[in-house]
Structure 1
Amino acid sequence: MTLQVQFVTMGMMFLGGLSLGGLFDLYRVLAGQLKAPRYAYYLLDVFFWIVGTLLVFKLLYESNLGQVRMFIFIGLLAGVLLYFLIFSATVIQIILWLIRFTKAAIRVIKRIVEIFVITPVIWLYRAVVIFLGFLLAIAIFLYKVMLQLLYPVWRLLIWLIRPLGRWLHIPVWVKKSGQTIATWLRRLF
């Protein structure tokens, strides 16, 4: 391994340490904002370390084909320490601002969807219900008018058929059903 490869590897591990520090602050702030059950934090810890390990080994493989030396750990440690001394507070503030901005954007999007989608759908539904109710009222009115207009015709038909019933010996149940219909029509009007 040449000296140039060692310096590139040391620089990559230093950047990897900075990245791990940023990743840890991101994880720490997001985990603090979550209202999750306790077991979820254990899963998040495992996920953080898997991502961090994959990041470091990817950088290590890209810089020197994955050879592990002592200066690699020194570079990682130096990067993490520098990150926490200089950048941590600023990065945490940026992450918190991004979280607030995202929450505000979500609230605005929800409100826009409520105003431009949900409210018109509700008003359209109400208008359709009112219109259908109006049509139903008209249909009931026309039905009653029709029954009132047909009632004299029905009475005339019963008056004309009654003598035939005596001559034809119409069964009793037919007579009763005719009387029942006539009674029902009288009640209706």
Structure 2
Amino acid sequence: MSLSVQWWTMFTMLLSGIGMGIVFDGYRVISDELRISRWWIPVFDLLYWIAATIAVFQVLSASNEGEVRAYIFLGLLLGIGCYYWLFSKIVVLLVHGIIRAIRAIIQFVIRMFVVFIIRPLQLLYKLTKLIFAFLLAFTMFLIKVMIQLFRPLWLLVKWMLSPLIRPIGRWIASWGQPLLQRWRIRERYAAAKQQTIKLWHRIRDRKKDKVD
């Protein structure tokens, strides 16, 4: 392996170490912001190291065809050390700032949604309810006015038709009386009523006997 390839591999491992530090700090800040339970921290740590190992192996395969040498681990350690010495605080502050910015954007979108959609819908609902109540009250008022207007006319028509209505009523009464007598509706109704009362008394007496 040529010296240029070794230096290139050393440089890529240095960058890989820095990248591992950035991802680890970002993951740590996000887990703190999301308040992930401590029971899940070991699981996410394991997933992080698995992902970091795969990524480093891919970089190593691209730089020197996957040959593992001592300087590779040295490059990783130097990259991680340089990151935590120079960039860790900046990255942590940057991730916190990004999270705050995302939260502010989400809150702004929610407020705009409430202002331009929810509140107009609420206002429209209240306005529709008010209009409906007004129309209902106005309709009832019109009905009352119409009743008051047509009542004298109805009384006049009733008075004018009373000479015709009274004979018709007497004829219906005289025609219906024999029919009632023929079918014995009153007697049958009284008998059915008596049977129902007797049945009710029997049921009540049986319930009393069972209780006693």
TM superposition score normalised by structure 2: 0.68
Worse-matched range after superposition: 116-125 or 137-146: 137-146
2:171 counterpart residue number: 167
* Residues 1:171 and 1:32: Cα distance change in structure 2 (over 3 Å): farther
1:88 counterpart residue number: 88
Instruction: Report the Cα distance in structure 1 between the residues aligned to 2:106 and 2:143, rounded to whole angstroms.
Output: 53
Q: Which residues of 2 match residues 126-145 of structure 1 at below 5 A?
A: 126-145=126-145
* Residues 1:57 and 1:146: Cα distance change in structure 2 (over 3 Å): farther
What is the CA-CA distance between 1:75 and the residue it aligns to?
A: 1.2
Runs of 5+ consecutive residues of structure 1 not aligned to the other structure? 173-189
* Residues 1:162 and 1:69: Cα distance change in structure 2 (over 3 Å): farther
3-state SS, counterpart of residue 94 of structure 1: helix
2:116 counterpart residue number: 116
Q: Deviations over 1:123-164 (max 9, x none)?
A: 111111111111121222223334444555388299554542
Worse-matched range after superposition: 132-141 or 155-164: 155-164
Q: Which residues of 2 match residues 64-83 of structure 1 at below 5 A?
A: 64-83=64-83
Instruction: Report the Cα distance in structure 2 between the residues aligned to 1:102 and 1:120, rounded to whole angstroms.
Output: 26
1:106 counterpart residue number: 106
Instruction: Report the Cα distance in structure 1 between the residues aligned to 2:151 and 2:37, rounded to whole angstroms.
Output: 73
Percent identity between matched residues is: 40
* Residues 1:20 and 1:132: Cα distance change in structure 2 (over 3 Å): same
* Residues 1:6 and 1:128: Cα distance change in structure 2 (over 3 Å): same
The code of the aligned residue for 2:158 comes to L
The code of the aligned residue for 2:115 comes to I
Q: Deviations over 1:102-133 (max 9, x none)?
A: 22233333222222222222111111111111
* Residues 1:7 and 1:141: Cα distance change in structure 2 (over 3 Å): same
What is the CA-CA distance between 1:98 and the residue it aligns to?
A: 2.0
Report whether the alignment pairs 1:156 with 2:193.
no
Q: Which residues of 2 match residues 9-24 of structure 1 at below 5 A?
A: 9-24=9-24
RMSD: 2.8
* Residues 1:144 and 1:62: Cα distance change in structure 2 (over 3 Å): farther
Alignment coverage as a number of residue pairs: 172
Computing the radius of gyration from Cα coordinates, the structure with the larger value is 2
The code of the aligned residue for 1:123 comes to L
3-state SS, counterpart of residue 39 of structure 2: helix
Instruction: Report the Cα distance in structure 1 between the residues aligned to 2:60 and 2:176, rounded to whole angstroms.
Output: 104
Worse-matched range after superposition: 38-47 or 69-78: 38-47
Runs of 5+ consecutive residues of structure 2 not aligned to the other structure? 178-212
* Residues 1:39 and 1:151: Cα distance change in structure 2 (over 3 Å): farther
